[in-house]
Amino acid sequence: MSRATRSAFDDVPPDGFDEDENEAPSLDEAPEIDFDFEPGAVKAGTEIIRRFWTTLPTSPGVYRMFDAKGDVLYVGKAKNLKARVGSYARGQAHSNRIARMIAQTAAMEFVTTATETEALLLEANLIKQLKPRFNVLMRDDKSFPYILLTADGPAPQIVKHRGARRRKGNYYGPFASVWAVNRTVNALQRAFLMRTCSDSYYENRTRPCLLYQIKRCSGPCTGEISLEDYAGLADSARAFLSGKSNAVKDRMREEMERASEALEFERAARFRDRIAALSAIQGSQGVNTQGVEEADVFALDEQAGQFCIEVFFFRNFQNWGNRAYFPKADRSMSADEVLASFISQFYDDKPAPRLVLVSHPIEDAELVAAALSSRVEHRVELHQPQRGERKNLVDYAQRNAKEALGRRLADTASQGKLLTALGQAFGLDKPPRRVEVYDNSHISGTAAVGGMIVAGPTGFMKTHYRTFNIKSEELTPGDDFGMMREVLTRRFKRLAKEAPRTPKEAEVGEPQAAAEGQAVPPATEALPDDPDAFPAWPDLVLIDGGAGQLEAARASLAEIGVIDVPLVGIAKGRDRDAGRETFFVPGRTPFKLPPRDPVLYFVQRLRDEAHRFAIGTHRARRKREMTRNPLDEIAGIGPTRKRALLHHFGTVKAIQRAALEDLAKAPGVNAATARAVYDFFHANA
């Protein structure tokens, strides 16, 4: 493999460089580069890189390559910056990917680091932040859920947790899905009777809640169990989650037998149910291990120029789930390059376990392991097993990666056919790559929201979904047309600002079609050089509504100068039956699709997804508004004073009726705070 085709983890210098010396040799006699495209652009990029190379140090660091627009093309790390950057300017058998990158380079920036390990960590962080076009990019980078057993109060709480670990307690995970966490927490509730309620709820209870009645909680909030005994339950839960599951179950069996011998059958039955709950957790793990206590398994599969990385999580000898990733990488990159870059980014914001198993050899594996170890309090081993149980785990993960990628390729092919048919049905010149669907949701105008969902070649693009809280105070409650105008105006004004387009020269007949309100193909965008980049502008917009909604949408876009985005209105059939939809396209007679047409089913899926998304957002907003505490709106009233007022008066209504003197008597409430609360509730008195 030539130096130019190595990943950012590979810092073996190109031929002619010796990193043991203080300086790299001159580039003046580098041979000409033989490329199959525009040699002038490559030569210009080489000269730019050469100018930066002359002043570089030989220390470790990170470099960034920028195009003429200032966008980051590539982020890489180097053990020797001068040698690494010099490799781009020597003209030695670069791959097409590297040649394209050099041709587009207009500037570079550098950061020196003390060690190569620091450079590797910084590189991973910058790649995730900047998402350079020529790097391996993670997709679906959602945080993983954990189980948190708190340690910041007298009665520990067991909850699902995402994000930064700021709260004091024990974290167990990661779990591959929220479903796995919820199932485990429910089982732990039955087994250890741990509370899941919030601290504010716990502190304000005067009698046990329903969870106590159905034997899901031991009731520490009202003293149904002593804090000492509750701490014992928490210790047992901690031991079980830490891998001592068999010891915990053995203790429960002993307690059950003692209770049975003492004829305390109800108590024995409770232990029996708790043992069954723990067995349910262990019995539904799928693939478990006997010799691997804690490990993450990464297996990669490549088909048709696409990659899939399957990640399995093993903790406490149990399989805690798996997740498939489909990183974006150039087809010329090898499997080990993709896997190495992916692992570094994967652990940028999460701790690594003691053992990381991989399906492909990783060059500089020791460096990657050292970088991962520097982030945690234990040594991390990066290993490609060749035999035994560890090899079986990797093979199992690789088989899942192959199946997941096969399903994705099949789905993508099917999605491509549907998009082609969709474009033909609505008279587009080419298949749409980005389809946006809009819907509104409200109850008599209250808590009104607009929702936008996006579909593309790989299905629903959920990272591109957007919600719009209807803000206009001039709208009549329930004015669906006005809501649609506001949503589309806000959406496309911002889009025009953030991703301006360069319109192509209008073809003959296009102005006439636009003037008559007909759908015309979208103008050519200033698309990036990456042909796989997902466009920012839609090729087709679907509106959930009939002719009125469509006209409101067309008029709102025309006001801001957007006249070349195809619009289609979808009117529900008689009795709102699916299959009887009428489609409205500007300049065409309303029409219907055949009842069994795959395009009709596809449009129904898109519309139903938009409806689901808008309804869910509306319900969440309505719930927030219904549960909003008036005390939250008073300046100077934080959680502590709010809790003190509620403790003293019991309810918000009692606070509202209280006299100024009574408010001032509440613990922790001074005269100024009492006056603020009193004035808030009596402003119109």
The answer to whether 564 and 523 are in contact (CB under 8 A) is yes
pLDDT for residue 507: 38
Nearest to 71, CA basis, from 684, 526, 421: 526
**Tokens 């200033």, residue located:** 526
3-state secondary structure 595-636: CCCHHHHHHHHHHHHHHHHHHHHHHHHHHHHHCCCHHHHCCC
In tens, the pLDDT along 423-459 reads 999 989 899 999 999 988 877 667 788 899 999 988 8
Residue 633 neighbours by CB under 8 Å, 6+ apart? 680
At residue 243 the predicted structure's pLDDT band, cuts being 50, 70 and 90, is: low
Q: Output the CA torsion sign for 496, 498, 499, 500.
A: positive
Distance CA 95, CA 41 (A): 15
Distance CA 195, CA 156 (A): 8
Q: Do 426-624 and 294-407 fall under one CATH topology?
A: yes
pLDDT for residue 575: 57
For the segment 645-671, the average pLDDT, to the nearest whole number, is: 81
Instruction: List, as own/partner pairs, every contact residues 413-421 make where C-beta atoms lie below 8 angstroms and the sequence separation is at least 24, other chains included.
Output: 415/457, 415/458, 415/459, 416/457, 418/598, 418/599, 418/602, 419/457, 421/598, 421/599, 421/602
pLDDT for residue 520: 39
At residue 576 the predicted structure's pLDDT band, cuts being 50, 70 and 90, is: low
In tens, the pLDDT along 594-641 reads 888 888 888 988 988 998 998 888 888 777 766 666 777 777 777 777
CA distances from 559 to 485, 495, 545 (A): 10, 15, 20
Assigned CATH for 426-624:
3.30.420.340
Average pLDDT of the chain is: 79
**Tokens 């490559």, residue located:** 42
At residue 246 the predicted structure's pLDDT band, cuts being 50, 70 and 90, is: low
pLDDT for residue 512: 32
CATH topology of domain 294-407: Nucleotidyltransferase; domain 5 (3.30.420)
For the segment 458-465, the average pLDDT, to the nearest whole number, is: 88
pLDDT for residue 17: 35
pLDDT for residue 287: 54
At residue 568 the predicted structure's pLDDT band, cuts being 50, 70 and 90, is: very high
Residue 659 neighbours by CB under 8 Å, 6+ apart? 678
Domain boundary assignment for the chain: 3-130, 146-283, 294-407, 426-624, 630-681
The architecture of the domain spanning 630-681 is Orthogonal Bundle (1.10)
At residue 232 the predicted structure's pLDDT band, cuts being 50, 70 and 90, is: confident
CA distances from 1 to 20, 302, 303 (A): 22, 19, 21
3-state secondary structure 221-267: HHCCCCHHHHHHHHHHHHHHHCCCHHHHHHHHHHHHHHHHHCCCHHH
pTM: 0.64
Whether residue 582 has pLDDT greater than 70: yes
For the segment 23-46, the average pLDDT, to the nearest whole number, is: 53
Superfamily (CATH H level) for 3-130? GIY-YIG endonuclease (3.40.1440.10)
pLDDT for residue 308: 92
Reported residue count of the chain is 685
The CB density around residue 110, as the number of other CB atoms within 10 Å, is 16
Rg for the chain, CA atoms, rounded = 31
Angle subtended by helix axes 39-53 and 96-104, to nearest 10:
70
Record the tokens describing residue 542, joined without a space: 């679907």
